[in-house]
Every structure is written in C-alpha cells, then in structure tokens.
Structure 1
Amino acid sequence: MIQQKIKIKKNSLDVKHLENNHLSIQFSLGGFSFCVLDRENNTFIALNDYDFVEPNNSPQRLIANISSIFGNDELLKQHYNSVSVTHINDLFTLVPKPLFNEDRLQDYVSFNTKVYPQDYLVFDELKNMDIVSVFIPFVNINNFLIDQFSHFEYKHNSTVLIENLLAIYKYSLVPKVFAHMANGHFELIVIANKKLQFYNTFKFSTKEDFIYYVLFTAEQLKLNPEKFEFLFLGSIEKTDDIFAMAYKYIRNVSLLENRSKYSFDEAFSETDKRTYYSILNQY
C-alpha cells in the first residue's frame, strides 16, 4: 500500500508549464519522493513524498508501486528540462580512489553484501575527493524512468550526503558527526581533519540501538563525546526520543541548519528543509 506522506506546492504553480524546471527523484525499498526546482529563480517550488507501507521485498513490487505513483501524480506527467535520480540502498561500498580498479566492482561490494553474477554494478566518483562509491542500482527502476524521461543522471545517496556535507564542513575546527535519520535506518557520517573519516548505514529499531552504533563508532575513531559536534538531519525533531538519547551521552547535539545554495518557496518549512536534505541537495 502507498501512503502520501507530504505534499508541498507553490500556491501559484502552473503544473502544465514546467518544461524549464528540474526534477529530482529519490527512492528506496521503503518510499519514493521527488521535488521540482525552478531553475530560473533557483527556488524549490514543489515536493511530494510517498511511503510504501508494505515492504518492497521484490523488484516487481517496487516497480508496481512507483508505476502507480507516476500514473496518479500530475507533476510526474509533465516534461522537464532535466532529471536527476538518487538510489537509496545498502548495496554499496566506498573505495579510496588510488586503490580503485573499474574491473573489480563486484569484489568491492561483495565485502559488504551478497553479490550475484547477474548484478549490474556502477560507481560515482565523488567531487574533489579521492573516493569512489560503488553500488548496485535498481536497474528495473532505471529502465522504467528511461521510458518516462528518455535521459537522466543517477547516483547513490552516499554520494549526495558526503559531497554536500564535506563541501560545507570540511574546514570545521572540531570533528563533526552527522546522523541522517530515516525510517528504520540512519546514515552516520564523520568529518574531521578536512576529510571524510567514516560513512556507513545502520538499521535500528530502538533508541538504544541507535546510540550504541554512534558511541561505538566514536570510540573506534577515538572521538570524545565531550568534544565533537553531533548534528541530526533527515526525519528528526528535538522532541524525539532519539534526540534525547543522543543528548544524554553527547555534550554538543543540535539539528542541522539549512545552508542550501537554493531558495525555497514559502510553502517549505525549516523542518521540511532538514527532513528532505538529501533530495533537496541532490542536483
């Protein structure tokens, strides 16, 4: 079953004339979202987010859900100047560029997940970094999107988060630890000494699971919870139990502030900008 989680739209938006705008799409086994950027004014003017209530445990169910959304959402029936796509899954690994060999993609990902001979692997070279993200995309969804838009660029969610956070916080004087919260999982990113020190995805079900992964990672990296700055982004509020748990064990905890290079229509709240950080910074 599909549930629309949020619908944001500029009041005066003419949905029939979006051909000069950019469309960003993001999806995982648990949901699908997209946003529209007015390229002329560098302003986000629409965002829709859908949850898949039943887990998509097969490519067929995932494509059925996304196809249904395209059949019913008016914004997805329009023509756009450009389209970009983000795949969210844990079928990836990060490789130092000096060690990267394009002929060994399957070997890299097999360290973290089961890889089958028929799996199609691709990679992103992260901007201004000696890092390559190797991943298995949802090929059936890419094929579906080709039928809809003819051409689009796609990347892994790890690329979006690392590039954007490092671009802003690379020269921070204190280590920064980021938790990008989603439904049932979170990405943990550590930036210190002008470099990415750590990136991984963790599945969790309780606040105790969450803080264990955070503190264990900090211990392995020899980071002092009294000194590093911990920032939440994604689906999180100060009133959430997860925030309170982090604050119990870490001295400096806060919500990520919006530092986007783009503007936002007044329909977007500060919470929206933080919740949908990855898709709003995809393009």
Structure 2
Amino acid sequence: MKQLQKTSKKISAFAQYKSLSIQFSLDGFSFYVSNSETKEPLLFTKYAFTKTIASPELLLEKVIAIFDTDKDLQQDFTSVFAIHQNNLATIVPNELFDRNNLAPYLKYTVKTLKTDFITYDLHNIIAANTVYIPYVNINNFIFQNFGEFEYKHHSTVLIDKLLSYSEQDSEEQFFVHVSPNYVDLVVCKEGRLLFYNSFNYTTKEDFIYYILFTAEQLQMNPNYFQLTFTGDIEKESDLYDITYNYVRNIHFINPIDSFFADSEDFSNHSNFILTS
C-alpha cells in the first residue's frame, strides 16, 4: 500500500539564492522554496501520510526517506525555516512568563516526560510566548543537513499571521484551522488575540462541538459571527456540512497573492501557515 501521497506545484524560474521552509507533523510533511532576494515562490510540495505516524521516531524515518529521494531538497539554501506542527503547546502572557522554568506551563494540558526538551517562541504581535515541545530528532536531522536554521511552533506562525490578516476588522473574527486529527481555534479582533486553543477530534460531532462550545464561552452567536476556515477542509466535506448546519456565515480564508490561486491540486486556503 502506498504510504505517501505527493502533490506539488512548481514554477519554472531560476533563482541563484533560495530559501527553504518546511512544515512537519505526524500526518504529513510539506516544503516551500522561494527566491531569497525577491521572496517570489518557486515550489511547494506536500507529502500526505496515509496513516498518522505513531511517534516522532517513525516520523524521522519518513522525513529521511523524503530527503533521500526528493531532489528539490538536495540543494543549497541561503536560509532554512522549520515549523513544528503538533498540539504539545500552550500560550503564556509575558507577565506570567519565566523562560527558565518552562515545564509547569505544560503540565496541565500536555503529558510530558522529564527528558522532554521544552522551548518557546516569542510572538511578533502579542505580548505572549508559545511554550512547546518540538521534535528534537527532526531538528537534529535538519541541522546535520543544513547547519544553523530557525524553527517555530505552528501555532505561533498561525496566530501572528491571522492577527495581521484581520487587524482592520472591527468585528470579532473566528478562525478554524483544520488538520486531520486536531483543530486550532483562533478568535481575534482588530489585531488583538481573544482566544486560542487546539482540540483533538475523531468525528465530525467532536469537531462542531469544540467550535460551538468556544462560541458559547465567548458569547458569540452562531447566527451572526463570521467563521473562516483554513487548512485541510473543503466545501465538499462532512466537516463543512456539519458546521454549516450550526453556523450561518462561513468563509474560506483568501490570502493576498496566494501561490495557489490558479492551482488544480491545492485550494487557496489549504496551506496558509507555510506559504502565505
């Protein structure tokens, strides 16, 4: 059985200096190559796993196999940026943050081990930090291949991009970023973060429950607020259908100058974190 499904979009353009951005999770691996000088996109490739990988160790095996066979990854890059996508994270406001004592921030929401490496990202827009557990083995592999590189948690990148995207909106904006097994919920208004959390889901009923529960806690009426989807969701899906049964105003995010505007394989909203 085929264990990897590869989909790619490539622009036939030469660039002497290239930047690489990669995003990985237990469900897949994607990478994006751009011109280091002009920031123009050159290539996007996505590998979707047929089954969720059981552990970071097995994920590393997949990543190594991809690097060994994909020639687009076997070149020199001027910079490398990695995005760790998992739900092993929490947000801590600056006034409560102690960078020398990170473990307590995760103990109530994430099952941690004494051997876990815990780090943090400083947000660009809000006065807060994302505390999380990265895939250290993947980081080590990337360092072995490329040397120094930058990395962040996917929620850091997602929140900062959504805050920038919605900074002019005077109404509350409810964003739902969909992954195969969990969902990120982001509520913001005029560049301010009002709510963020991520939830595991198995069924479409789980999925809509978390959306409606969050809306109820924030006193947002499903008949009036605007819900905007990003990520792995399409209009012809059970997740969309059940959401539309309860929420009246549903949209897909429409990034400016999206690389996928004319793509047959990728939706405009599908890879907002990595490419927008």
Q: TM-score, normalised by structure 2?
A: 0.93
The structural deviation recorded for 1:131 is 1.1
Partner of 2:164: 167
Aligned AA for 2:119? V
The CA deviation string for residues 115-161 of structure 1, in whole angstroms up to 9 with x for no partner, is 11111111001012111100011001100000110011000000010
Partner of 2:150: 153
Residue among 104, 107, 110 paired with 2:104: 107
Partner of 1:4: 5
Deviant stretches of 4+, over 3 Å: 263-273
Distance across 2 between alignment mates of 1:270 and 1:28: 20
Partner of 2:273: 278
Matched-pair contact (CA < 8 Å) for 1:258–1:270: no
The structural deviation recorded for 1:265 is 7.8
Distance across 1 between alignment mates of 2:125 and 2:7: 34
Gaps of 5+ in 2: none
Residue among 81, 90, 97 paired with 2:87: 90
Matched-pair contact (CA < 8 Å) for 1:19–1:78: no
Aligned AA for 2:67? F
Distance across 2 between alignment mates of 1:152 and 1:267: 31
Give the paired residue count.
Answer: 275
Partner of 1:264: 259
Gaps of 5+ in 1: none
SS at match of 2:268: helix
Percentage identity across paired residues of the two chains: 37
Matched-pair contact (CA < 8 Å) for 1:2–1:65: no
Matched-pair contact (CA < 8 Å) for 2:261–2:268: no
- Relative distance call for 1:59 and 1:271 in structure 2 (3 A) is closer
Partner of 2:227: 230
Distance across 2 between alignment mates of 1:41 and 1:221: 41
CA RMSD of aligned residues (A): 1.9
Distance across 1 between alignment mates of 2:18 and 2:165: 26
Matched-pair contact (CA < 8 Å) for 1:8–1:267: no
Distance across 2 between alignment mates of 1:266 and 1:227: 28
- Relative distance call for 1:56 and 1:19 in structure 2 (3 A) is farther
Matched-pair contact (CA < 8 Å) for 2:260–2:266: no
* Structure of greater relative contact order (alpha carbons < 8 Å, 6+ residues apart): 1
